[in-house]
Amino acid sequence: MQAVKVTTLVDPLPIYTMWLRQIKRFLRMKARLASSILMPFLFLAFLGLPLSFMPAREIPGMPEGVNFLDFLAPGIVGMTLLFAGTMSGASVIWDKEFGFLKEVLVAPVNRFSIILGRSLGGMTTAIIQALIIVAIAVAMGVKISSVSGFFLSIVFMILTCATFTGFGLILATKLGDTEGFMSIMNLIIMPIFFLSGAFFPLAAMPAGVGYIMYVNPLTYGVDGLRGTLVGAATFPLWLDFVVLLVLSVVLASLGAYFFSRMEA
C-alpha cells in the first residue's frame, strides 16, 4: 500500500459525490423504498397492534408501563437499520459486479474517502427509512417518551447503522462475488434479527439463547432505541452506547480497510 497522508485521507468533494450518488439512487428507486418500508409496517400492524391489546405483564420480562406495540416498535426500527445498513455496505459487491467500482478506483482519490462517502450515503438513506418507521409507529399509537429521547435515539440509529454497514462491507469484500450472496446474507442476518430481543424480552428466552443474545450487536442497538424512544431499556443506556460505539468503530474501520485492499 502507498503511504497515505492524513491531509489527503479525507477528501471532501469525492466524499460528497459518493454520498450524493447514493442519495440519488435511493430517491429514484421508489419501488425499493416501498418494499423496504412494507415489511416493518406489516410487523407493526399485524403483530404489534393486535398483541398490544393483550395484558403486557403476561409476557415474562416485559418492562413496566409499556404495551407490546411500544415494546416492538424500537425492535422494528432496529430491524430496518440492520437490513438497510448491511445492504448499504454489501451493495459494494454490485458496484463491483457492474463495473462501476473500477472507474471509481482508478480516480485520483484515496479509497478511504470513497468508502466513507459511500457509507455515509447509505447510512443517510437507512436512517431516513428508520425515521419513516418511527413515524408509522407513532401514528399507530406508540408514545415517544420525550423530545430529548427522540434525538438521542438518532445517535443510536447512527451507531447501529454504522456497525452493520461495516459488517456488510466486510461480508462483501470477503465473499467477493454475487453468486449465492443473498442467501448467505439471509443466513446471517435473519438470526441476528431474531436473536436481538426485537420481538420479545431477553428474559422470555430460554437460558442458552440469552447468551447468544448478549454477543449480538443488534441487542444493544434495539435496547438503546427502546430506552431512548419509549423509555424501557433492559441495560443502562451508557452500556448500550459504549458497546455500539466500540463495535461500530471496529467494524467500520475493518470494512474500510478490506475495501482499500480490494483490486478493481
Partner 1 sequence: MSSVIEAESLTKEFDGLVAVDHINLSVKEGEVLGFLGVNGCGKTTAMMMLATALNPSSGIATVCGYDIIKERDKVRESIGVVFQRLSLDVNLTGRENLDFHARMYHLDRKTREERVSHVLGLVGLRSKQDMLVKHYSGGMQRKLEVARGMINYPKVLFLDEPTLGLDVQTRRVLWDYAKKLNGEFGISILLNTHYIEEADYLCDRIAILEQGKIVIVDTPAGLKDSVGDSLLSVKLSQGSSDELTKLLGQVDWVKKVDQCDGWLELSVENGGKKIPEVVRLAQERDFVVSSISEHKPTLEDAFLWYTGKAIREDKGDINELRKTRRVRR
- What residue ranges bind partner 1 (CB under 8 A)? 2, 8, 11, 13-14, 16-17, 21, 24-25, 28-29, 98-110, 263-264
Residue with Cβ nearer partner 1 (42 or 107)? 107
Number of neighbours of residue 147 by Cβ within 10 angstroms: 8
Length, in residues, of the chain: 264
Q: In the bound complex, what is the minimum distance in angstroms from residue 103's beta carbon to partner 1?
A: 4
Q: In the bound complex, what is the minimum distance in angstroms from residue 14's beta carbon to partner 1?
A: 5
Distance from C-alpha of 144 to C-alpha of 124, rounded to nearest angstrom: 22
What 3-state class would DSSP assign to 55?
coil
What are the C-alpha distances in Å from 125 to residues 179, 199, 218?
26, 24, 19
Residue with Cβ nearer partner 1 (117 or 166)? 117
Contact 68, 56 (CB under 8 A): yes
Residue with Cβ nearer partner 1 (102 or 180)? 102
Q: In the bound complex, what is the minimum distance in angstroms from residue 36's beta carbon to partner 1?
A: 16
Residue with Cβ nearer partner 1 (28 or 177)? 28
Contact 140, 68 (CB under 8 A): no
What are the C-alpha distances in Å from 210 to residues 86, 194, 200, 207?
23, 12, 11, 5
Q: In the bound complex, what is the minimum distance in angstroms from residue 211's beta carbon to partner 1?
A: 40
Q: In the bound complex, what is the minimum distance in angstroms from residue 167's beta carbon to partner 1?
A: 24
Residue with Cβ nearer partner 1 (121 or 224)? 121
Indicate the angle between helix axes 30-43 and 68-90, nearest 10 degrees: 150
